[in-house]
Amino acid sequence: MYIIAIGWLYVTLLVAANEPSVIAGIISFLFYGLLPCSLLIWIGSSKARRQRRRHRELLADQSLNNSDRGNPQPDQ
C-alpha cells in the first residue's frame, strides 16, 4: 500500500511543479496528493490500530490478574 502512496505523491508532485504559480502548485499538491494519501493510509491502517489496542488491553488485563495473586500462604 505504501508503494502506491509514494507513486501517487510523486505524480502529484510533478503535476504541482507544472502549475503556473507556486501557490497553485502547493494547493494542487495538498488537495490532490497529500490529503487523499493521508486519508487512504489512515483508513487502511485502522485494522492494525484496532489490533494494537486489543493487544494492549489484553496485556493490561493479564497484569491486573497477575497482581491479584498474592502469596497463598498465610503471614507468620
What's the domain count of the chain? Answer: 1
Residue 42 counted as domain residue? yes
Residue 74 counted as domain residue? no
Q: Letter for the amino acid at 70?
A: G
C-beta separation of 9 from 37 below 8 A: yes
Its pTM stands at 0.62
Residue 69 counted as domain residue? no
Nearest Cα to Cα of residue 67 among 75, 76, 59, 57: 59
Range of the domain at 13: 2-64
C-alpha cell at 11: 505524480
Q: Mean pLDDT for each consecutive 10-residue tract of the chain (76 residues)?
A: 91 96 96 94 88 89 71 61
Residue 70 counted as domain residue? no
Residue 31 counted as domain residue? yes
- Rounded-to-integer distance, Cα 3 and Cα 62, Å: 38
- Rounded-to-integer distance, Cα 35 and Cα 4, Å: 15
Residue 71 counted as domain residue? no
> Any idea what DSSP says for residue 75?
P
Residue 36 counted as domain residue? yes
